[in-house]
């Protein structure tokens, strides 16, 4: 696909994609904060209600590399409309149903199409600018990811607590419908000019750098979301804050995450290797500080702010590591990225939860640190592979 002309057009395209990603990620993660309300509304237990989150994530992890591969040769605009349309319809079903099985199905079906839109959003944003500026464009899409994951949860909780579960679902439907309409009228046809065969795309799995990247991303994302899943519990039981202050801290984390995305765009253009290697070490330091000083409210405010910025940068690093290891198959690489992040979130949350069950909320941080250290090992293995590839390319040139 050629570069999209006109800076205003590119900015509008990236903005629409960002809002689209926000709507889709918010549909996935927004329900995390209202699981008790879902349990009450549908007459099930809270653990049973939790399947609306875990089933969604599991389906995304499975379909992550498959669906972008199958849709890689289809016009990008058509792909956007298919995915957004399915999300709008599923949101409407969620508003109308009173049956838990139906809402679970209404979550699983859009989850199948989730990787198509998000991976395509990363790919289109990257190819809308020069190769050198691609990380900046991708960082804008991550604003939608951060907003959907971090800000979407408290916003959805607020809407649901003040109104009802159905109105919260209506919020999801409205956001997705607005992007659907904007896509129809404001985004031109984006045909795929160079269709890649399935074999060409699957061949990237032969590269050691891809596997080291995938393992690094799985553990780093597992570290971040392993703790984030229990951040409210940590702030309640260790820092001893009430719900309103916890909500404020979550908003601080979300806003800092967005700042981190913007910083990452610049760092990955100028010093990608240093950024990828340094940020996980910085996160280790901050998580250790959080473990040691979790009781102190003012200190925790600063730690949450710094942690949010670092997590925003780390998310961009994760996408960069995988897609730059397989530039010849961008859609498939972004699908692999989504699989590794969702797998990391699921495994990291379960791992950190084990420490809470055995000890208390503070020790979720130990699970996070273990995952981070493993991630750092594979980051360095990945960087070693990248050096070998560059040396080999230079030798072939000579």
Please state the domain extents for the chain: 1-195, 197-398
Chain-centroid distance, C-alpha 278: 21
Selected residue with higher pLDDT from 131 and 218? 218
Selected residue with higher pLDDT from 389 and 234? 234
CB–CB of 61/343 below 8 Å? yes
Residues 6+ positions from 162 with CB-CB distance below 8 Å: none
Tokens describing residue 179:
């992007």
CA separation for the pair 365, 378 (Å, rounded): 20
- The yes-or-no verdict on residue 97 having pLDDT over 60 is yes
pLDDT of amino acid 306: 96
Selected residue with higher pLDDT from 90 and 37? 90
- The yes-or-no verdict on residue 340 having pLDDT over 50 is yes
Tokens describing residue 13:
């395209």
What is the pLDDT averaged over residues 228-249?
83
Q: What are phi and psi of 6, to 5 degrees?
A: 85, 120
Left, alpha or beta for 123 (phi > 0: left; psi -120 to 50: alpha)? Answer: alpha
pLDDT of amino acid 2: 43
Any alpha helices (H) in the chain, and if so which ranges? 7-29, 35-42, 46-49, 51-63, 66-70, 76-96, 100-127, 134-146, 152-162, 165-186, 198-202, 208-228, 231-237, 243-270, 272-292, 297-323, 330-358, 364-397
What is the pLDDT averaged over residues 191-206?
80
Chain-centroid distance, C-alpha 134: 18
The candidate with the shortest Cα–Cα distance to 283, out of 267, 260, 265, 262, is: 260
pLDDT of amino acid 6: 63
The candidate with the shortest Cα–Cα distance to 221, out of 279, 134, 300, 273, is: 279
How many CB atoms lie under 10 A from the CB of residue 207?
15
What is the pLDDT averaged over residues 88-104?
92
Residues 6+ positions from 63 with CB-CB distance below 8 Å: 111, 112, 113, 114, 115
Tokens describing residue 327:
């530039």
Q: What percent of the chain has pLDDT over 90?
A: 35
- The yes-or-no verdict on residue 215 having pLDDT over 80 is yes
Q: What percent of the chain has pLDDT over 70?
A: 95
3-state secondary structure of 142: helix
What is the pLDDT averaged over residues 44-69?
84
- The yes-or-no verdict on residue 228 having pLDDT over 70 is yes
pLDDT of amino acid 393: 65
What is the pLDDT averaged over residues 123-148?
82
Q: Give the pLDDT band (50/70/90) at residue 1.
A: very low
CA separation for the pair 71, 76 (Å, rounded): 9
User: What does each C-alpha distance from 338 to 40, 50, 163 come to in angstroms?
Assistant: 31, 21, 33
* Chain segment 157-188, per-residue pLDDT in tens: 778 878 888 888 898 899 999 999 999 998 88
* Chain segment 16-53, per-residue pLDDT in tens: 988 888 888 888 888 876 777 888 889 888 778 878 87
323-329: long-range contacts, CB 8 A cutoff, minimum separation 24: 323/122, 323/126, 324/272, 325/204, 325/207, 325/209, 325/210, 325/213, 325/382, 325/385, 325/386, 326/204, 326/207, 326/210, 328/196, 328/200, 328/201, 328/204, 329/196, 329/200, 329/201, 329/204
pLDDT of amino acid 3: 47
CA separation for the pair 180, 338 (Å, rounded): 22
User: What does each C-alpha distance from 94 to 54, 85, 171 come to in angstroms?
Assistant: 17, 14, 11
What is the pLDDT averaged over residues 132-145?
83
Residues 6+ positions from 269 with CB-CB distance below 8 Å: 132, 133, 135, 136
Mean pLDDT of the chain: 86
CA separation for the pair 255, 225 (Å, rounded): 16
Q: What are phi and psi of 196, to 5 degrees?
A: -95, 140
What is the pLDDT averaged over residues 274-285?
96
CA angle 182, 185, 187 (to 5 degrees): 80
Selected residue with higher pLDDT from 360 and 193? 360
- The CATH number for 1-195, chosen from 3.40.1190.20, 1.10.3720.10, 3.30.420.40, 1.20.1250.20, is 1.20.1250.20
Q: Give the pLDDT band (50/70/90) at residue 380.
A: very high
How buried is residue 7: exposed, middle or buried, by Cβ count under 10 Å (0-12/13-18/19+)? exposed
197-398 belongs to which CATH class? mainly alpha
Which segment, 69-73, 305-309, 333-337, 356-360, is predicted with the most confidence on average? Answer: 305-309
Half-sphere exposure of 37 (CA within 13 A, CB side): 19
The candidate with the shortest Cα–Cα distance to 19, out of 172, 188, 141, is: 141
* Dihedral angle sign, alpha carbons of residues 193, 194, 199, 203: negative
What is the pLDDT averaged over residues 372-392?
90
The reply to whether 1-195 and 197-398 are identical in fold is yes
What is the pLDDT averaged over residues 189-200?
77
How buried is residue 294: exposed, middle or buried, by Cβ count under 10 Å (0-12/13-18/19+)? buried
């Amino acid at each position: 696909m050629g570069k999209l002309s006109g800076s205003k057009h590119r900015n509008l395209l990236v903005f629409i994609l960002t809002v689209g990603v926000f709507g889709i990620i918010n549909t996935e993660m927004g329900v995390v904060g209202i699981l008790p309300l879902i349990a009450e509304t549908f007459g099930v237990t809270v653990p049973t209600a939790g399947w609306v989150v875990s089933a969604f994530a599991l389906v995304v992890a499975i379909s992550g590399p498959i669906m972008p591969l199958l849709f890689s040769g289809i016009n990008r605009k058509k792909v956007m409309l298919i995915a957004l349309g399915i999300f709008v319809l599923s949101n409407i079903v969620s508003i109308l149903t009173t049956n838990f099985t139906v809402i679970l199905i209404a979550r699983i079906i859009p989850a199948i199409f989730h990787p198509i839109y998000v991976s395509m959003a990363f790919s289109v944003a990257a190819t809308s600018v020069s190769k050198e500026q691609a990380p900046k464009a991708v960082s804008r899409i991550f604003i939608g990811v951060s907003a959907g994951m971090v800000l979407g949860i408290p916003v959805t909780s607020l809407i649901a607590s003040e109104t009802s579960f159905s109105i919260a679902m209506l919020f999801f439907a409205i956001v997705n419908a607005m992007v659907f309409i904007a896509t129809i009228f404001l985004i031109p046809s984006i045909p795929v000019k160079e269709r890649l065969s399935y074999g060409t795309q699957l061949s990237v799995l032969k590269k050691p750098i891809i596997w080291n990247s995938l393992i690094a991303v799985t553990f780093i994302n597992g570290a971040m979301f392993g703790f984030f899943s229990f951040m409210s519990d940590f702030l309640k039981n260790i820092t001893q804050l009430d719900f309103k202050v916890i909500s404020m801290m979550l908003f601080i984390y979300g806003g800092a995450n967005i700042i981190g995305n913007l910083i990452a765009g610049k760092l990955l253009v100028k010093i990608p290797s240093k950024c990828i290697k340094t940020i996980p070490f910085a996160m280790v330091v901050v998580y250790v500080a959080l473990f040691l000083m979790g009781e102190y409210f003012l200190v925790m405010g600063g730690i949450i702010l710094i942690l949010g910025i670092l997590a925003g940068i780390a998310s961009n690093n994760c996408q960069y590591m995988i897609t730059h290891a397989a530039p010849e198959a961008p859609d498939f690489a972004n699908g692999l990225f989504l699989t590794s992040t969702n797998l990391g979130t699921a495994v990291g949350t379960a791992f950190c939860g084990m420490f809470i069950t055995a000890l208390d909320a503070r020790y979720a941080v130990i699970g996070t640190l273990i995952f981070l250290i493993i991630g750092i090992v594979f980051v360095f293995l990945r960087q070693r592979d990248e050096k070998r590839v560059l040396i080999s390319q230079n030798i072939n040139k000579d």
